[in-house]
A and B are shown apart, each in its own frame.
Chain A
Amino acid sequence: DAKTTQPTSMDCAEGRAANLPCNHSTISGNEYVYWYRQIHSQGPQYIIHGLKNNETNEMASLIITEDRKSSTLILPHATLRDTAVYYCIVRVAWGYRGNQFYFGTGTSLTVIP
C-alpha cells in the first residue's frame, strides 16, 4: 500500500473549517483514500473514503486532486469535539489476507475556542 504524509499537528478556530492535508504521491490506481479519527483514549472512528471523486457525508468532505497524489479532509464547521488525531490511509478497498489498515501517527487537530 502507498505511504501517506500528514502534518504532525494543526490548530483550527472553533466554527471555522478545518482543512487537513494528506500527501500520497505513490498511490496506485486501485487504492482508495480513507480517513479515520481518534479522540483521546477512544477507538478510531471511520470518517469517509473515496477513490477519485470528491465525497461528502454528514461528518466531512473529502477532496482528492485530479492526479490523486494528495487529498484534503474538510470539517466544515469545527467544534471542540472534533479535537482528535486524524489518520489518512491509502489501500485497496477489498479485503484479503494481509491488507491491513496501517494507522500511522496522523495529524493531531486541536480546535481552539
Chain B
Amino acid sequence: DIQMTQSPSTLSASVGDRVTITCRASQSISSWLAWYQQKPGKAPNLLIYKASFLESGVPSRFSGSGSGTEFTLTISSLQPDDFATYYCQQYKSYSVTFGQGTKLEVK
C-alpha cells in the first residue's frame, strides 16, 4: 500500500493567518491526491481533488499544490470555521489510503 504522511500532526494558528499543511506519499502518485476537512462529530468534506482542483462550493481561500510525492494544502487567510482536522488521500492505487490527519487548532 502507498503510505501517506502528513505534517505537522497539530498546527496552532490564529484567524487571518496563512497556513500550510504538507502531505508526502511513499511513492509517486502523480496528481492523484485529495484533501478533506473534518469537524468533530461530522463526516469529512471534500475540499480539493487532483491535487489542485477546488471542489464546488469550497471557499477560494483553500488551495492545493504539488505532484509526485509532495503536496500542500494552503489556507490563505484562516477563518473561524476552518479550525478542524484535515486529511489527505491518495487515489493512484485502487486501494486508496489516507494520511493520519492534521489538527488545526486555535493558537
Q: Is chain B a partner of chain A in the same complex?
A: no
Seen from chain A, the residues whose Cβ lies within 8 Å of a Cβ on chain B are none
